[in-house]
A and B are shown apart, each in its own frame.
Chain A
Amino acid sequence: MKRVVYGLLTVVLVSLAWFGSSLAAEGPLSLKLAKTNIKISTFYNGTTLEVTGTLPADEDVVVQVSGPKKDVHLKEKGKVAGFLWMNKTDVSLENTPAVYMVYTPTGATATQFLSPDLGVGYKALVKDITINPESADKAFIFGEYVKLMEKSGVYAINEDTVKYGTPDNGTKSFTVTLAIPSKMSAGAYKVAALAMKDGAVTNRVNEDLTLELSGLPAAISSMANGRPLLFGFMAVFIAVGAGLLVGVLFRGGGGSH
């Protein structure tokens, strides 16, 4: 009986030791956001978000911000009558993230972290996106869409931005300041840290980030969407009132005809 008990105990201990070592191989990757909820109030003009974490000393980390996915309706420009550039053809990109930002480590070329195989970068996004009509050139249209989004600040590849701390006991810390542009609208986003070594992702952790309207923007948005007719009349009423008020205030300045 004792032998059986010792045998079982040995098996359990060996299993635990193996499980523990396999976790250690994946690395102690951690990710922490300074805030997980950002309020969009009256005088909000975008913000920054501090992100910290740890990873194995011999690995690199890439931080990715994305979401929420939506269908984007675009007009492709083309020549009309041979010389006029105009919005010509309707084209839709389905399942496209409204926001996509990547932050790569300092002192390393960003391209090594950006590939469809690693699931990072614009080329990785194309895989999940469908184009309508199917006959359209998906890579080209998405490439142009990326330019458009980069211009408005919601798509970005930020090189040389993730900073490492001094390695200690096989791990190192990392910090990065995320830019949250004002164009990033209220919604649910995902911040991911991807640990990489030798051209492969070794580990990945995610944190949720929520942006929500508060105060005056929340009140206006809920009225505009909930009671649109009343909102329209209120907008007109206030505009007429402001016009009359200024008209009366300027009365002294008016001359005779």
Chain B
Amino acid sequence: MFYMYLPIAGNSVNILLILGLGGFVGLLSGIFGVGGGFLMTPLLMMFGIPPTVAAASDSNQIVGASTSGTLAHMRHGNVDIAMGVMLLIGGIAGGTVGVQIIKLLRALGGADFLIAITYVIMLGGVGGYMFWESLQGLKKSKNSTAEVKTTVEEQKSGKKSFLQKLPFQYKFEKSGCNISMLLPLGFGVLVGILAAIMGVGGGFIMVPVMVYLLRMPMHVVVGTSLFQILFTCINVTVMQAYSNKTVDFVLAVLLLLGSTIGAQVGTSIGKKLKADQLKIMLASLVLLVCAKMMAGLLMTPTIMVALKGGH
């Protein structure tokens, strides 16, 4: 009872457990605008799903959750489509370059080392900075009612002259910035490369890039990130199903049922939280995953072999 067989994963799972897992990750997705792949894949592996099937089926699930989340954010006016499209184009180009880099490194050896180190540095760096910065923001907002936005504006002015000289200037209305299209495109490429190296969707890198480098308002960041993730994951799902036959549709549907509802609830919760509160929560989550990964790297394993394709 309450169990369902997953034909591609070759194992059965507790329906309630997977629904709950989908709901939890969908909630995070709705609140923070991350796909949640960096959390979901390791959790699914813990429940006996092969790593390749876990990653591919999760991307299928993210398609559903991010559709639901994007729709909710669009309704709130939180999606900057033009910005999302630029980041997406950059992300796909970067992803293609990243895959080639990994192929080259695998041939030369040492790819796994690079992946693990990139993971820890990115998670630790991004999480640490976000945590510190949001803490400062929260402290400031306690002292005065002025928005953190003012400090952002101050920091912005220094770089203004250089950024305004770049060609293809465009007014991204929802994001409230007038910048060159090359900027989101370039950052998209960088995130795409990192995401391909790390084997993740890149939401947790893209969000800080939009917040700190593109200076977009946090709520628009979340909506735009989900919009971009939706298209990235559609591409990944079709490619994984076609090339590797690793998309477990039953698993994806179970996760979907939980995550689409979770994403809606998450969006409502996110609306009630302040930008700094959102950032500090996401930072804590990223730091937690980083700490778990570090522990895995430093502690002597109980089993000295792993099936190829795992972490």
Partner of A40, one of B5, B296, B311: B5
Min CB gap A246→B, angstroms:
4
Interface string of B44-66 (1 = CB under 8 A from A): 00001000000000001101111
Partner-contacting stretch, out of B93-101, B125-133, B238-246, B275-283: B238-246
A75/B297 contact (C-beta < 8 A), A233-B238, A246-B68 known: no
| Chain A interface residue bracket vs B | 35 or more
> When chains A and B are docked, how far (Å) is the Cα of A183 from the Cα of B12?
7
Expressed in whole angstroms, the Cα–Cα distance for A224 and B308 within the complex equals 22
CB of A35 closer than 8 Å to a CB of B: no
**Could you say which residues of chain B place their CB within 8 Å of the CB of A91?**
305
Which of A75-115 touch B at CB < 8 Å?
75-77, 80-81, 83-88, 90-91
Is B250 interfacial (CB 8 A cutoff)? yes
Q: Known contacts A148-B305, A182-B12: does B112 contact A232 (CB below 8 Å)?
A: no
Chain A residues closer than 8 Å to B180, beta-carbon distance = none
Q: Which stretch (B75-83, B157-165, B202-210) binds chain A?
A: B75-83
Which of A216, A235, A247, A256 gathers the greatest number of chain B CB atoms within 10 Å? A235
B238 touches A84 (CB 8 A): no
Which residue, A140, A141, A152, A228, has most C-beta atoms of chain B within 10 A? A228
- Taking CB atoms, residues of chain B closer than 8 Å to A76 are 304-305
CB distance from B183 to the nearest CB of A (A): 25
Closest Cβ of chain B to A251, distance in Å, is 7
Contacts of B247 in A (CB 8 A): 224, 231-232, 235
B11 surroundings in chain A (CB, below 8 A): 182-183
Q: Return 14 A-B CB contacts under 8 Å, by A number.
A: A40-B5, A81-B113, A88-B112, A148-B303, A148-B306, A151-B303, A182-B5, A221-B7, A242-B67, A243-B65, A244-B71, A246-B260, A250-B261, A254-B268
List 19 extra interface pairs beyond A45-B3, A236-B237, A243-B67, CB under 8 A: A72-B307, A84-B116, A84-B298, A87-B310, A88-B112, A182-B12, A183-B10, A221-B7, A224-B7, A232-B240, A235-B249, A235-B252, A238-B253, A240-B67, A243-B263, A246-B264, A247-B68, A247-B264, A250-B72
